[in-house]
Amino acid sequence: MTHRPRIALIGRFSTSASALRYRGVVGARTLLESVWRGGGDPLLLYPADDLGADNWDRRLIGISGVLFPGGGDMDPSSYGQPLVSEHIYDVDRVQDQQDLSLARYVLDQAIPFLAVCRGMHVMNVALGGTLQQHIEPTHRHYVHEVKIEHDLLRFGVIANQLICSCYHHQAIQKLGEGLEIVARANDGMAEALLVKNSDRGICVQWHPEDTAETDPNQQAIFDSFVDRCR
């Protein structure tokens, strides 16, 4: 049997989960299933408030890659802005601190990664970028065409035009240092980022897990990520 590299992702706090008697720390099932179909073994990490950045070298022992999942909004103070939008939701200081700490560690150690939606925002902020706190019209429940401009092999796809499922109301404002935009929507919005001079990771604004089970192009993103981890 082919070895399954272990893929870590930080769990998201949930105020309710029908299978539990208490609040939960969860991961989206479609996301975990997409990693599993790609040949990886997804493992949920607890977002611990009392651990510093120097603990990642121990927590990631045996881990071959990191997935940064979607989630609520980042606190605008994390990218040096005051709160100016009433649409900001589900801000959590612990989630922000843990995501940014892990992102900086992953970048520093050149660990393979895949960043999805909020995950892309985290990577941008970790590298000094900023976000538009709200866009209109939003891209929630929004399926649209995305054009990948170059580096198709990094995404594992052949076609440069993809039909993508989005669920976000924010967008990249100032691009983080060392990042480049490699895919856009028809309205010009940044839809994918790469770290320059590195082949370790990709960031996508859309949710490839939404349609990965039926769309080979979206599943290929997970397959390629797991291959990099392997």
Residue 159's pLDDT band (cuts 50, 70, 90): confident
pLDDT, tens digit, for every residue of 53-63? Answer: 568 999 999 99
The neighbouring-strand residues paired with 195 are 179
Domain-located, residue 202: yes
Range of the domain at 174: 6-229
Q: At 10, which CATH number?
A: 3.40.50.880
Domain-located, residue 1: no
Quote the pLDDT of residue 209. 98
Q: How many domains does one find in the chain?
A: 1
Question: Which pTM was predicted?
Answer: 0.94
Quote the pLDDT of residue 18. 77
Domain-located, residue 125: yes
pLDDT, tens digit, for every residue of 99-148? Answer: 999 999 999 999 999 999 999 999 999 999 999 999 999 999 999 999 99
Domain-located, residue 166: yes
What percent of the chain is modeled with pLDDT above 90? 82
Residue 48's pLDDT band (cuts 50, 70, 90): confident
* Overall average pLDDT of the 19-29 stretch: 86
Quote the pLDDT of residue 17. 75
